[in-house]
Amino acid sequence: MEKALFDLSGRTALVTGGGSGLGRSIAEAFAEYGADIAVCSRKVENCQETADWIEKTYGVKAKAYSCDVSSEEQITQTVERALQDFGKIDILVNNSGATWGEYVQDMPLAAWQKVLNVNVTGTFLMSKAVGNHMIENGYGKIINIGSVAGIRAEPPEVLNAIGYSTSKAAVHHFTKDLARKWAGHGLYVNAIAPGFFETKMTKHVIARNAEKIVHNNPMKKLGDTKSLQGVALFLAGAASDYVTGQVIAVDGGSSL
């Protein structure tokens, strides 16, 4: 039963921002359970290294693509190439993200716009492009990566990135609304809201505030890779076939 619930054999997953960090961890988990993998980001070198490692380690097909998710043209090209290479996309993980740390009163408009363009507009554009294909097939699992920062407001001494927090709250509502709109097409749309995990994006915040973050966490720890991989596998496979429109916090209880 366990294998049937989580087995991804015969599925193809596209993971944005899949060359490093949480995106790579999710791509690796999907590959371990049998999925073919397409990874994309602006830094195609990281994606290529990830794709090569996945193919060598898990024996599945993996491809890397260069894509700026704030560009509709690049998204269209990436999705078309992935469909040519794999024939279909069953699972989409919208993981590409941007952040900008600054006091609100000093936040440049360009910084605010950059964060929202990547985190919100990019999630919309990629979901639209892949979703059209999924609707034709009558099946698809979309997993958006939100954040606990979009659920609760952190004090400025812990996280001072209002554009990021606002964008992730928008991603959470986008997830719910899209799930409602596409449920009749056989598509599932859910989100994961990670707490503090050690990634390239969070390393500076954690370096300055690790003790405070751990102290304030009910489970007294930071996030670990397996915790995120487990939830992603659940949302990607048959185990979640009666789950849509949900935002699952993976945060050790910090959003309670």
Domain that holds residue 213: 2-250
pTM: 0.94
Is the confidence at residue 2, as pLDDT, over 60?
no
Residue 159, domain member (yes or no): yes
Place 246 in a pLDDT band, splitting at 50, 70 and 90: very high
- Enzyme catalytic residues: 164
With a cut of 70, say whether residue 112 has pLDDT above it: yes
Task: Give tens-digit pLDDT for 123-148.
Answer: 999 999 999 999 999 999 999 999 99
Tell me the torsion sign for CA atoms 197, 200, 202, 208: positive
The token pair at 144 is 């958006």
Q: Is residue 168 part of a domain?
A: yes
How does DSSP classify residue 102? B
pLDDT in tens, 193-227: 998 776 665 666 666 666 767 767 777 777 677 88
- Predicted pLDDT at 207: 64
Domain containing 48 — which CATH number? 3.40.50.720
Is residue 43 assigned to a domain? yes
Does any domain span residue 44? yes
Which tens digit of pLDDT belongs to each residue from 40-61?
999 999 999 999 999 999 999 9
Does residue 255 lie in a domain region? Answer: no
Is the pLDDT reported for residue 154 higher than 60? yes
Tens digit of each residue's pLDDT (9 = 90 or more) over 85-111: 999 999 999 999 999 999 999 999 999
Q: In Å, what is the CA distance from 154 to each residue of 100, 103, 147, 157, 168?
A: 15, 13, 12, 8, 13
How many domains, in total, are found in the chain?
Answer: 1
pLDDT of 3 over the 70 cut: no
Mean pLDDT of the 78-87 span: 98
Whether residue 256 lies inside any domain: the answer is no
Question: Do 99 and 89 form a contact (C-beta atoms < 8 A)?
Answer: no
Tell whether 149 is covered by a domain: yes
Burial, 26: exposed, middle or buried (Cβ in 10 Å; 0-12, 13-18, 19+)?
A: buried
